[in-house]
Chain A
Amino acid sequence: MAYIKIDKEKCKGCLLCVVNCPKGLIVQDEEISIRGVEMVSFQDKDNECSGCAFCALMCPDVCIEVYR
């Protein structure tokens, strides 16, 4: 249905995408980015993402691209 790509280099781990995704498809995981930040990653096993782009709207560092 839809998916997102996260630019891991620019993410600062603010988690605004995580809390704003209506379906909780973005989680913080253990992977540490080059910026020493606990990365977020998009996990959508059941293909629930509707491409609403709330995450991208709320990302202060323009890390998220949305595909639909």
Chain B
Amino acid sequence: MKERILLCGNEAIGEGAIQAGCQFYAGYPITPQNELTAYMARRMNEEGRVFIQSESEISAINMVFGASLAGARAMTSSSSPGISLKQEGISYLVGCELPAVIINIMRGGPGLGNIAPSQADYFQATKGGGHGDYHTIVLAPSSVEEAFSLTFLAFDLADLYRNPVIILGDGVLGQMMEPVSQIQNSRPKVKNYSKDWILNGCRGRNPRIIRSLLLGEGELEKHNQRLQKKFKEIKEKEVRFEALYLEDADFILVSYGTVSRICKAVVSNLRSLGKKIGLIRPVSLWPFPEEIIKKTAKRLKGILVVEMSAGQMLEDVKISVEGACPVYFYGRMGGGVPTEEEIFKQVIAL
């Protein structure tokens, strides 16, 4: 019988990073992501790599900044309040075009909030919680298996585009355990990316400078234009989503992460009742899957967006739909998790 590896989401993310060749991890305690920090403390040392528990989330992201510019795959993780502290660092990473992976296991907010799951950091992650025009790639797993694979992918995308990538999980995903079939003895091959830009001492080359301060006339604007070109390319190439029953659906749910699993149950339930209902689950929250939603909306009676928030992805759905059909919303805030029955009733009522 094949060995089944059972991990919680936080650990799966950690193992995803380890197998992706993450050389440097800095973290700080915060619920509900503590299992990840603990996992990395043990596993990174086992692998002979660098683990640091830093004095704050701010110093952790700046340590990642240093490790990344020195050429290492680097990651930090936290939960909502801690991610707020990292926003300046994330903006610097984008400005300096440095790869990094940032994990946010979201919890209830605002403020200290609670430690229940939430999706209320969607805006912060996808619209940029830091300063300046920038984007991070944002990937949202909905299973422990996907938490592993998307973290692995995040390191490739970060290196490919030299840009930070955020994994947006939540307290449920982080804490629940599921088998992760992808973890076998043979590890997936880690791709190499050109590191001809890093700072490792100028032996045999001219000295390099990595900075985001550009004071010269028009210099920063040119830099921004280059970044926008990068974001355009990412939008064209890195959209990821899952779609169910779009062929005949006349109504769909749009939801991501943990909530999308609840919505899948509602969809199958309603379909068994003969309702032509479908689902779109964005996997990349940025770049947002606008095209599929825009195309599908034209033949729909309506869309119900379901989130653990006051409605944030809702706005991106509305932008994509451009009024082609009504867009409704159902959400729970402050760590509340919508139940299958609640969503079911919402759909029936529409």
Instruction: Report A-B touching, CB under 8 Å.
Output: no
